Amino acid sequence: MTATKGELRRASLLDAAEHVLVTLGNANATMRNVATESNVRLGHLQHYFSTRSALMQAVLERVLERFLASMQETTGVAIGVGTEGPITREESGRIFGSMMQQQQEPATVRLYVEIWAMAASDTEIAAVLRDFYVQYSHYVEHIVKRAQPEMTANVCRARANAIVALFEGAAIVGAGFAGLRSAETDIELLNVVQGLMHEPE
């Protein structure tokens, strides 16, 4: 389906917001700088995103959409909420391997880091970030439930949250900031995650 002019303009504004965050950092991720990067007036940007927190919410929603679409495309496993059927150990290995691969993208890690830093001093963006992680964890929870349908809702949610925490922490310490990533570390991380996902073999 062909995107409308408004959808194309919105995507362009979000591209600009991501570029400003990754190249100039959170301190310079103002509405005015995003508008300048987009070659539009500030009022035009505010027509689509009334506040910086609304803009960051849209950025994060699009990041999650890209993340899930890429994971489904690279693994061949339907993973959206509402999909059914068991998730095997082999399939979960492909799913979480795809997650690790995506978290090796320096621009993606930098984007997260800059939004986290922004959230540390902006309560509205902190709320947006919390909502993003609730949604992210909800997708992982659905995958865990498909791996172990008999698992109680509370345990399933706790394991999903633990998996998200493991991957988010791994993204930071494995990036250039700390440089702790290695093939052996990735294997150990995947083993821990699959231990949370599946009964022992």
Do both 159 and 112 map to the same domain?
Answer: yes
Do both 124 and 193 map to the same domain?
Answer: yes
Residue 28 to residue 22: CA distance in whole angstroms: 10
What CATH number is given to the structural domain containing 21? Answer: 1.10.10.60
Do both 40 and 68 map to the same domain?
Answer: no
Closest CA to 130 of 115, 150, 151: 115
**The predicted structure's pLDDT at residue 179:** 65
Q: pLDDT per residue over 157-188, tens digit each?
A: 999 999 999 988 888 776 656 666 778 888 88
Residue 13 to residue 17: CA distance in whole angstroms: 6
Encoding tokens for residue 156? Answer: 């399933």
Question: What's the mean pLDDT when you consider all of the chain?
Answer: 90
Q: Which domain does 19 fall in, by range?
A: 1-50
User: How far from the centroid of its chain's Cα atoms is residue 178's Cα?
Assistant: 20
Do both 33 and 97 map to the same domain?
Answer: no
Encoding tokens for residue 153? Answer: 């809702």
Do both 146 and 166 map to the same domain?
Answer: yes
Encoding tokens for residue 116? Answer: 């986290």
Ranges of the chain whose pLDDT falls below 50: none
Contact between residue 115 and residue 21 where contact means Cβ atoms under 8 Å apart: yes
Cα atoms in the 13 Å half-sphere on the side-chain side of 199: 5
**The predicted structure's pLDDT at residue 21:** 96
Question: What does pTM read for this prediction?
Answer: 0.89
Encoding tokens for residue 76? Answer: 């061949």
Structural domains of the chain, count: 2
Residue 188 to residue 158: CA distance in whole angstroms: 20
Do both 166 and 107 map to the same domain?
Answer: yes
Residue 119 to residue 56: CA distance in whole angstroms: 10
